[in-house]
Structure 1
């Protein structure tokens, strides 16, 4: 009964482990047998095992060879049985490696990491964002979920690809949504604006439902969907159309040679906007004094938020009060 259970356990093992166990048992057995058959020539069991592996793998160094007829018969049996098993094992390893690589490229492998960033949708914005993170040498791991790509060769990129519908729980589980730190939902450029926003909001709901603590950044195209995106659980909402419309306006009616597109891109590549509450020790000081305080640490104070109203570059003599939020620009 014990042997039967052991036999069952053997066949439940993964193929590669089963083959490796078979090779190990077979080589140990032939090594022991040749040691018993020719103890003067194969003085230790390890010498016999070494000979069995070298012979069974068809390497054939020739440092140990059977001298008796019985030893040669054992060698023939080893070549007929062990050689085929070792060859089959090596072929199985190669096939498994190729199969795993193909599954990675097709997005069928579950991501095992943690504290990673999930990107929803493969488009030009996603590609540029990944390039920007790579350029700034960010160490985070990235997972891309997309259902329009059937294959994405994993050697050509530095992120993990998951194929499927991002609103499906099983697809999100493949991306290890429970251990993710951020999720970025980009609008689908192939859909109409209203449909793209609906898809983004539905994806946000699915993300929030699977991980209540994840920070979700959602891109919306139409202004009337901002409230719905907040209700769906988005922490940050990127309003692409509003942003681009403002830049177009600045470009058309600018009165200086500075081009807002290039200037803003250059700033965002090397600097980042941050906000923090006004420290208690700076309460009552004016904007210029507080600005000088942060310049010493290479941080530029560009404005404040007071009563939910943004004030960019307020008067230098304006005193800052308790409850103000500082808007800062600092190097990444």
Structure 2
């Protein structure tokens, strides 16, 4: 008799473990549906068994929810044997099922976070900036972008396996940036622009620029309208990019060496350039719309100067201050040196 009791206990435990394993393997939506059905059916049965105790179906639902979530508040409780049996079943199965649902919800949140950190999630936004190839320069660029625009969203595409810059507005896509699937995962079609940095893990300069050219070609094929900026290690390779639609090139070591020369020749020059390069302090370069009232560059220069901005260029032409009487062409793009407050005021007045 004693052995039979032990055998029955072991068998019962095995059945319970098998049932638990099967429940854990159930789909999250199915577990949620099963929990809702349990709550509704139990509430309906409780109300039908003891209508005088609960009064309304809502009160029965309240009792079931408090029973499976805690141990009840004592404001409602069954008084008949069938009602008490139902309560006992809810203690065993209801609490277990609700705990399973809560556990699966937390597992889903944890899995989502793991996928985000490993770069496996697809970005669903738009008007974002894509930064390709992680490096110290990429990190500094991202920090500058975040400081410049409080609403900007940034996507990092890199072959690394973990998010290199875990910040709320910075997302990560792991994979080969020349792959169309990876670019699609980063929503390249809805991006504002893409910045391709030289890969620091490659030693050969020609191979670095070759990889950058492949990435630029992939972006052009996938989304030709996206503004693309490429960091080039060797200046002679720029002509190899002419068949690819690249909007801007940045020579990797050129800016540093030129700033060093300026510093050696004339003290204080570097501070001016650093102000224009950084959005964290000092003045910056902004583009302003052409006012229809401006006929010549002189009109634009005087009007902007009165507002606190200095006109410096039309596109790449920085000689316009010596040609103030020249008419402003239809396709002009005027650039000024100013600060955020002044340029915001100018743009807001232009909208009125």
User: TM-score of the superposition, structure 1-length normalised?
Assistant: 0.83
Residue 232 in structure 1 maps to residue 238 in structure 2: no
Following TM superposition, by how much is the alpha carbon of 1:81 offset from its aligned partner in structure 2, in angstroms? Answer: 1.8
Structure 1 residues 301 and 155: alpha-carbon distance in aligned structure 2, compared to 1, 3 A threshold: closer
CA distance in structure 1 between the aligned counterparts of 2:213 and 2:166, rounded to whole angstroms: 32
Which residue in the other structure is 2:68 paired with?
56
**Any conservation in 1 of the 2:122–2:185 contact (CA below 8 Å)?**
yes
Structure 1 counterpart SS, 2:307: coil
**Any conservation in 2 of the 1:274–1:330 contact (CA below 8 Å)?**
no
Greater CA drift, 264-273 or 120-129: 264-273
Q: How many residues align?
A: 308
5 Å-filtered alignment, 1:185-224, equals: 185-191=196-202, 192-224=204-236
The match for 1:263 among 249, 272, 295 is 272
CA distance in structure 2 between the aligned counterparts of 1:253 and 1:232, rounded to whole angstroms: 37
CA distance in structure 1 between the aligned counterparts of 2:224 and 2:57, rounded to whole angstroms: 59
Following TM superposition, by how much is the alpha carbon of 1:156 offset from its aligned partner in structure 2, in angstroms? Answer: 4.4
The gaps in structure 2 that reach 5 residues or longer are 1-25, 341-352
CA distance in structure 1 between the aligned counterparts of 2:127 and 2:68, rounded to whole angstroms: 46
Displaced runs of 4+ in structure 1, greater than 6 A? 275-280
Deviations for 1:211-265, whole angstroms, at most 9, x for unmatched residues?
A: 12111111112112212334222112222333333223222333xx3142x3211
Following TM superposition, by how much is the alpha carbon of 1:124 offset from its aligned partner in structure 2, in angstroms? Answer: 1.6
User: TM-score of the superposition, structure 2-length normalised?
Assistant: 0.79
Following TM superposition, by how much is the alpha carbon of 1:157 offset from its aligned partner in structure 2, in angstroms? Answer: 5.2
5 Å-filtered alignment, 1:38-187, equals: 38-147=50-159, 149-152=160-163, 156=167, 158-187=169-198
Structure 1 counterpart SS, 2:163: coil
**Any conservation in 2 of the 1:229–1:237 contact (CA below 8 Å)?**
no
CA distance in structure 1 between the aligned counterparts of 2:339 and 2:138, rounded to whole angstroms: 23
Which residue in the other structure is 2:13 paired with?
none
**Any conservation in 1 of the 2:312–2:318 contact (CA below 8 Å)?**
no
Deviations for 1:7-50, whole angstroms, at most 9, x for unmatched residues?
A: xxxxxxx9332221111111100000011111110211111111
**Any conservation in 1 of the 2:309–2:336 contact (CA below 8 Å)?**
yes
The match for 1:320 among 281, 305, 326 is 326
**Any conservation in 2 of the 1:107–1:161 contact (CA below 8 Å)?**
yes
Structure 1 residues 175 and 322: alpha-carbon distance in aligned structure 2, compared to 1, 3 A threshold: closer
**Any conservation in 2 of the 1:202–1:232 contact (CA below 8 Å)?**
no
CA distance in structure 2 between the aligned counterparts of 1:106 and 1:222, rounded to whole angstroms: 33
**Any conservation in 2 of the 1:186–1:218 contact (CA below 8 Å)?**
yes
**Any conservation in 1 of the 2:287–2:333 contact (CA below 8 Å)?**
no
Structure 1 counterpart SS, 2:336: strand
CA distance in structure 1 between the aligned counterparts of 2:78 and 2:291, rounded to whole angstroms: 86
Structure 1 residues 240 and 279: alpha-carbon distance in aligned structure 2, compared to 1, 3 A threshold: farther
Residue 329 in structure 1 maps to residue 337 in structure 2: yes
Structure 1 counterpart SS, 2:229: strand
The match for 2:260 among 242, 248, 255 is 248
**Any conservation in 2 of the 1:216–1:236 contact (CA below 8 Å)?**
yes
Following TM superposition, by how much is the alpha carbon of 1:110 offset from its aligned partner in structure 2, in angstroms? Answer: 0.8
Following TM superposition, by how much is the alpha carbon of 1:163 offset from its aligned partner in structure 2, in angstroms? Answer: 0.8
The gaps in structure 1 that reach 5 residues or longer are 1-13
Following TM superposition, by how much is the alpha carbon of 1:64 offset from its aligned partner in structure 2, in angstroms? Answer: 1.3
CA distance in structure 1 between the aligned counterparts of 2:190 and 2:334, rounded to whole angstroms: 32
CA distance in structure 1 between the aligned counterparts of 2:201 and 2:177, rounded to whole angstroms: 16
Which residue in the other structure is 1:297 paired with?
307
Greater CA drift, 66-75 or 156-165: 156-165
